[in-house]
Amino acid sequence: MAVGGCVLSSDDVVIKSPNDRRLYRYIQLPNGLCALLVHDPEIYSDQKQDYTDDDDEDEDEDDSDEEDSEEDDDDEEDEAEGDKGLKNSLQKKAAVAMCVGMGSFSDPYEAQGLAHFLDDEEMVWMIMGTHFIDDITKTEHMLFMGVLISQMRTRFAQFFTSPLMKPEAMEREVLAVDSEFNQVLQNDSCRLQQVQCCTSASGHPFNRFYWGNKKSLADATESGINLRDQILKLYNDHYYGGSMKLVVIGGETLEVLESWVLELFSNVKKGLGLPTKPETGSGVRIWRAGKLYRLEAVKDVHILDLSWTLPSLRKDYLKKGEDYLAHLLGHEGKGSLHFFLKAKGWATSISAGVSDEGMQRSSIAYIFNMSIHLTDTGLEKIFDIICFVYQYLKMLRQVSPQEWVFNELQDIARMEFRFSEEQPQDDYAAELAENVIKAFLLSSVIFIAGNLLVYPPEHVIYGDYAYEVWDEEIIKHLLDCFSPGNMRVDVLTKSFNKSNGIQHEPWFGSRYVEEDIPYSLMELWKDPPEIDCSLHLPSKNDFIPRDFSIRADKASDQLEDASYPRCIVDEPYMKLWYKLDKTFKLPRANTYFRITLKGGYSTIRNALLTELFILLLKDELNEIIYQASVSKLETSVSLYGDKLELKLYGFNDKLSVLLSKVLSIAKSFSPKDDRFKVVKEDMERTLRNTNMKPLNHASYLRLQVLCQSFWDAEEKLCLLNDLSLADLTAFVPDLLSQLYIEGLCHGNMLEEEALRISHIFRSNFSIQPLPFELRHRELVMCLPLSADVVRDVRVKNKLETNSVIELYFQIEPEEQTKLAKLKALTDLFDEIVEEPLFNQLRTKEQLGYVVDCSLRVTYRILGFCFRVQSSEYNPVYLQGRIDNFINGLEEMLNRLDEESFENYKNGLMGKLLEKDPSLSYETDRFWGQIVDKRQCITSLLIYR
């Protein structure tokens, strides 16, 4: 039974998109805990969802920063692993998330990393006794996420009401934190952030080691700190109702969801007040002015990182002044810094803004960052580049803030909010929980009187999209913060040729030097005497959509089954699939194409020349693609073997206009020598950085064994040095002389509009079709039953502490008659085995942070993989532990009773039968079936 009632309950507070059919209720309990309840009518009731949860590990668990996510280490991996099986299929399920107003800023200085230790997954699992919850530590809050099914509700609530925190488990949890730290030990972005922390002002909250590891926690113990006592103190000081923000998404009514929250969370203690902010001291600078830090990179990169400290802008979120400046400083069109520095051959990319990462966007300060990826030449021009940055800033001051720029951003944000796509429920719950705590912290004065919280959380959803107040003065004020005296300069580079003054960051071991920036340069940057005439504001964006009409409302009923795309063009030159969206009814469309190029992958030389051509083409298209992306019409250009994959997706109003411009540029494109040199240099750097991560390297080695045509990265690097612009110029005409195009048009698009898109291709590339026999087909080695193939290769980075074992078992080629049954059996095996594997090898044996298993489909050949990554044990030992687990599988399966088996089977069937959460997910599913030459399958039968 529910205990008491709510002191506040409102169904009319939250502003939501007019297309959002979910119902929202905001409540506050007498103990101060605030909860957002979300009724989703498309979620099955809890009784129908009572099955074992599948909480996947990501494919690349060490991809924890933007730098890594931007690069494409292994194109072949993406192609080969295009269908990893049903394990990663998304289901629309109930979800729960809790945000607690305490993070790394609350770490005791003598026990750094303690907040991370408190919310570590292993600590939570120790309390819960099951693997169903994830967690994230930020500087000022912690986020706990999980599924919401009947047997989990009580366990989730238990952590916030009566945690166990057993003393005997402490050592194991220290190892878990250390294992997670070792995942990022060779991560350049994390290393840079820690150097920024360790060189910040002593006593400042930034001057911390937020990750925590075995040494930091062991050092605390050796100095007399009782970790359990400290954890309990953190918990008791910060885990109370007023500091907790809960989100519950379910298929039950709001009344039922409210009764659950009252029943399970009324016992959370009330607490004495509001979360306290870290003490910083008035006017304390985070970093010393006039310094430049050169940090030795792990990867072959050159990055100039400029940071300016801004005041905390949380209360000004309706004005979005920092986003206005980020839009201009990170722009890539004509007149921008990116366009200017790229033309000089000094930079390849620029990103700018205040990230959502806690240290950059806190109650203490906002950190505005500009990250410039440099060429070899650009590395020698760092001070010149900074001078041009200040010329651009001076130009912004002279022209004064422009309301039309703000209005464009406002139009785009309102359009995105109105027609927002749904996301997986656990992600949505986490996002809402963080936004609820933002709403809590944004209030300049919050009164709690008579147990009533007087702060309306109407912008829990809308806040991120809210460009409501044009304030010229706040932009002028922020521009004043972009001064040399308020700037930090970091240079992250592999070209670290220093012998004197080298310092070592104590936790990551990074080598860096601190240099003084000449006073004359600091004075010059304050007020540059001139502004280069090439620097100016961007032009108005012609890609902002104006037509939001829904085609399904006008179209006549389709004759065919509307569940699947149907082929509307089938010719030697092109095959085009089409499906009008009648489900999501948003003004969005996704158009995907694979253009097979003649001889593009027939030899290693051809493969390199093809890749060079595509990279140069992307470079040429960058300006127009960027303008469209600002208007939420995205373009993706990538290469898979001899196939150029072109994707245009987003708001459909200007989609055909963008496609016409892209193809027109591609048709007449001729590479130039200056860009050839820059792109070739960047490609060399990418090849040198390939396989730096052990997980990627292990998959790469497996594909190298299995695939007949798999060009080695080192061989490609050697050959690339000898290729010239003349070689490329001579190669391209034959490459484009014959083509074959297969595509999919899906979304808010009538059939005649899809047919017009096919005509756009014909009008730009009126050439002969590429015969079937000239298209590349990858062949996969068939491993005999007695095969015992071993690849034992040292990691590329000699400082890498992690080892990986990937154990691959080939099953058999897919056959259409057996496909459904074989895939279903393999996925059911995965469903049953994954949790015991994780529990044994990670939770109990603590082998490493990454422990997983999954179905692999390598060019239509089924296989199954077990993987473990460890910083403590070598691959031979790890394989022994996997073998030991596999040897016990038969006994484990034999012990499986009928009820448990049915639960696993129903769980997998539930995932297969769930609808796609958005048009994008549905398109990706259809596209995967098209490129893999499979029939569209809505569900697979589960066989016993």
Structure tokens at 338: 């990116």
Structure tokens at 394: 């001076």
Query: Terminal CA-to-CA distance of the chain, rounded, Å?
Result: 41
Residue 173: active-site member: yes
Query: If residue 568 lies in a helix (H) or strand (E), which one and from where to where?
Result: strand 566-570
DSSP result, 285-328: -SS-TTEEEEEE-SSS-EEEEEEEEE---GGGTTT-HHHHHHHH
Q: Are 56 and 881 spatial neighbours (Cβ–Cβ below 8 Å)?
A: no
Residues 6+ apart with CB under 8 A from 250: 38, 39, 40, 43, 46, 94, 148, 256, 257
Neighbouring C-beta atoms of residue 340, cutoff 10 Å: 20
Residues 6+ apart with CB under 8 A from 894: none
- Please tell me which residue in 67, 81, 122, 173 is annotated as part of the active site: 173
Residue 121: active-site member: yes
CA distance linking residue 308 with residue 390, whole number of Å: 12
**What Cα–Cα distance (Å) separates residue 526 from each residue in 394, 749, 868?**
9, 52, 53
Which of 516, 311, 489 minimizes the C-alpha distance to 387?
Answer: 489
Q: DSSP alpha helices (H): ranges in 39-107?
A: 66-70, 75-80
Which of 471, 533, 542 minimizes the C-alpha distance to 325?
Answer: 471
Residue 134 has phi, psi (to 5 degrees) of -115, 165
The SS3 call for residue 738 is: strand
Question: How distant is the alpha carbon of residue 534 from its chain centre?
Answer: 34
Structure tokens at 53: 């949860």
Cβ-count burial of 224 within 10 angstroms (0-12 exposed, 13-18 middle, 19+ buried)? exposed
DSSP result, 656-692: HHHHHHHHHHHHH----HHHHHHHHHHHHHHHHHTT-
Question: How distant is the alpha carbon of residue 825 from its chain centre?
Answer: 31
Q: Are 265 and 160 spatial neighbours (Cβ–Cβ below 8 Å)?
A: yes
DSSP result, 239-278: -SGGGEEEEEEESS-HHHHHHHHHHHHTTS---SSPPPPP
The SS3 call for residue 780 is: strand
**What Cα–Cα distance (Å) separates residue 75 from each residue in 454, 687, 711, 794?**
53, 11, 11, 22
Identify the residue whose tokens are 């489900």.
583
Q: What is the chain's alpha carbon radius of gyration, rounded to the nearest angstrom? A: 28
Which of 454, 96, 30 minimizes the C-alpha distance to 268?
Answer: 30
Q: Are 83 and 929 spatial neighbours (Cβ–Cβ below 8 Å)?
A: no
Query: If residue 719 lies in a helix (H) or strand (E), which one and from where to where?
Result: helix 713-720
Which of 596, 519, 712, 500 minimizes the C-alpha distance to 76?
Answer: 712
CA distance linking residue 392 with residue 325, whole number of Å: 11
What is the crossing angle of helices 472-481 and 321-329, to 10°? 60
Query: If residue 584 lies in a helix (H) or strand (E), which one and from where to where?
Result: none
CA distance linking residue 504 with residue 508, whole number of Å: 8
The SS3 call for residue 752 is: helix
- Please tell me which residue in 121, 140, 332, 922 is annotated as part of the active site: 121
CA distance linking residue 369 with residue 294, whole number of Å: 17
Which of 548, 757, 538 minimizes the C-alpha distance to 627?
Answer: 538
Return the active site residues: 121, 173
